[in-house]
Chains A and B, each alone.
Chain A
């Protein structure tokens, strides 16, 4: 490198106005990349869940707006709010047949906490709905719980 070029580099001001523009641009680019990676790694969260009995919509539960009950199910769905939100679907008038979901609104997770479907209650062993992915199925009650929205097809889960 010629000596006069080295001298220019050594003596010029490091914070010239246009150089500051470059530094600012780089800082914004780096912060944006970090935020994008963090959000992307988590995937988009579900906005709520929808429940189907066979092909019939039982209800939807939005994590922000709450419950909307499907036609004909008005007397069969209850929601209790508290530390955990509990959504219960009843399948008979005596309310002895039910599936009970626990919803963690802050985490956006849903788990089948209890059911009277069978002695084994296989649906209560299913993985929770989390991060926009997953489904919980209760075969004896023909009930499906599915996430609404979210990045539901990203990053499959094995097991």
Chain B
């Protein structure tokens, strides 16, 4: 070797290494706790210009969507629909019309497993803001003295389950205005414990899909402003990711539905994604237990019970479902629907309808006390973060 060669080699190697590791910009961001009773996080690469203006535009968009879709906002479209009589038509804004039109599409695609007309059932089980502390709200005849000790009265379960025929909701546009009509049949009279009769009509709850819709609208804003790296996360259950800070894929952890000594990690899996929307539904953040059985906020419209909590259920069922690569709104609807369908129907639905998307499910078998992860991810984009869960590739 010539005398100068090693020095030259070192210089060339160092130059190549420095080039490969040159700074690409760290992710920085904004957070807000003012929308959808949850956290909104927008992350982008440091050095981006006009970020504050974009963030303000994002917050204004979230404000408008939340006002339109919230069951609590006075004058909002969904709140007015919920308050109207059966057979009545109410004018709604363009946001509510758009979201309801999407909801009807997902309702049909999932054969009713995604159904936003479960509003009364969600309230009956105690998962609306008046229970979770986000806002007040008048007591109802069907309220339990302590919802963590006693199941709802069967007569309310039966009556409210009968008020979930979302196919009967009519949407139409006339002279540039939008309308929704509550079905004439969507009414039920229930006699309370003191003999007083109360009439109930269908109520919508667009909480899940509403967040996904907000994520989709935010993605349009962020892309229009020229951002190509980062992500937007609304409450953890809906987000979009652009490229990572280095321009490639981002690693996204998926929350472990049963953190415990057996599965001690925060996430059960990590996936690699870029330029995709992500959604997740699970039974592990809003729930309570009665006699050891978990009652979560996702209500099965066919039975009226929270998923996996029907009287005959031993706790078996899908604990969490995550979908990547659909719009966030559709992802929200689909992940909710998969939990409602249960494992076997969910796997059939995935095979027949979600070939272009990536999915990851966690199923618990109560009899065998075993956990199984079902995923169609390729090995180079999916890694399991826990031991003791079997992985089945779809």
Which residues of A are interface residues toward B (Cβ below 8 A)?
12, 16, 18-19, 21-22, 25-26, 29, 117-120, 122, 125-128, 130, 135, 137-140, 144, 153-159
Contact = CB atoms under 8 A, between A and B. Distances in A.
A137 B251 CA distance: 25
A119 B147 contact: yes
Contact of A157 (B6, B132, B255): B255
A139 B134 contact: yes
Contacts, number: 117
B253 A118 contact: no
Given A153-B28, A158-B279, 18 more contacts: A16-B1, A18-B1, A21-B7, A22-B10, A29-B17, A125-B285, A127-B236, A135-B31, A135-B33, A153-B29, A154-B245, A155-B251, A156-B43, A157-B267, A158-B236, A158-B253, A158-B278, A158-B280
A159 B132 contact: no
Contact of B132 (A18, A127, A139, A154): A139
A21 B279 CA distance: 53
Interface string B14-58: 000100000000111101010001110101000000000000000
Given A117-B133, A119-B148, A156-B43, A127 B255 contact: yes
A19 B4 CA distance: 11
A117 to B, nearest CB: 6
9 nearest CB pairs, A to B: A159-B255, A140-B133, A153-B43, A153-B27, A139-B133, A18-B6, A157-B253, A153-B29, A22-B6
A159 B41 contact: no
B286 interface: yes
Interface string B180-204: 0000000000000000000000000
Contacts of B70: none
A119 B146 contact: yes
Given A22-B6, A25-B10, A153-B43, A158 B147 contact: no
Contacts of A122: 132-133, 285-286
A44 B261 CA distance: 25
Contact of B13 (A18, A29, A128): A29
B231 A156 contact: yes
Nearest to B149: A119
A12 B132 contact: no
A135 B266 CA distance: 13
B33 A144 contact: yes
Nearest to B129: A139
Contacts of B285: 122, 125-126, 159
B287 interface: yes
The CB with the most chain A CB atoms within 10 A, among B3, B236, B279, B287, is that of: B236
B302 interface: no
Contact of B250 (A16, A19, A29, A155): A155
B6 A21 contact: yes
Contacts of B9: 22
Nearest to A129: B266
B280 A120 contact: no
Nearest to B6: A18
B233 interface: yes
B157 interface: no
Contact of A158 (B1, B5, B254, B286): B254
A19 B7 CA distance: 10
B286 A125 contact: yes
B288 interface: yes
Contacts of B1: 12, 16, 18-19
Contacts of B267: 157, 159
B340 to A, nearest CB: 18
B362 to A, nearest CB: 10
